[in-house]
């Protein structure tokens, strides 16, 4: 049960790590309108926040994969388990903060970028799992 809980916490972190940059990208007009900042400033700030979040999240998830998940083959379930949490985050955000102003809708180009990112994200998760499982393998004996 403990491993199951840890696996789900890691999956929630994966989902949150893709949810925040995606929402920042899709809500540039809304953030600009509510904060009275220029769109270029909001785009720059959301890009910086996304980049810092991706780097920090990658390091955190690598460490959690090493320490919490103990190099089990079940770690690869996170490739699938992040999806329901991501859908839950998006649904919750859309329900709590509906678009009430027509100018806040994102442009179609950002939707294409989001689709491409969501298609490639499972490969990123596989890479972190693979590196995290093989990064600290002390069971392999090295010849002297």
pLDDT in tens, 122-144: 999 999 988 877 765 555 444 54
For position 140, what pLDDT does the model report? 47
Q: Please give the model's pTM, rounded to 2 decimal places.
A: 0.86
Per-residue pLDDT, averaged over 79-94, amounts to 96
Query: Residues 109-118: pLDDT tens digits?
Result: 999 999 999 9
Distance CA 92, CA 86 (A): 10
For position 38, what pLDDT does the model report? 95
Confidence of residue 24 (pLDDT cuts 50, 70, 90): very high
Q: How far is CA 109 from CA 40, 75, 77, 104, 128, in A?
A: 16, 34, 31, 14, 28
Q: Out of 1-5, 16-20, 70-74, 77-81, pick the least confident.
A: 70-74
Tokens 């790590």 belong to residue? 17
Q: How far is CA 72 from CA 13, 76, 109, 112, 130, in A?
A: 18, 8, 39, 35, 11
């Amino acid at each position: 049960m403990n491993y199951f809980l840890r696996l789900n916490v890691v999956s929630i972190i994966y989902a949150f790590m893709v949810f925040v940059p995606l929402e920042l990208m899709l809500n540039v007009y809304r953030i600009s309108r509510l904060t009275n900042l220029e769109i270029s400033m909001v785009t720059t700030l959301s890009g910086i926040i996304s980049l810092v979040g991706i780097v920090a999240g990658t390091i955190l998830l690598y460490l959690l994969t090493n320490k919490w998940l103990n190099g089990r083959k079940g770690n690869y379930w996170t490739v699938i388990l992040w999806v329901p949490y991501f859908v839950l985050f998006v649904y919750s955000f859309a329900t709590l903060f509906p678009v009430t102003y027509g100018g806040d809708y994102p442009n179609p180009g950002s939707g294409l970028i989001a689709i491409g990112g969501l298609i490639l994200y499972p490969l990123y998760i596989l890479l972190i799992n693979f590196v995290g499982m093989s990064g600290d393998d002390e069971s392999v004996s090295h010849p002297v």
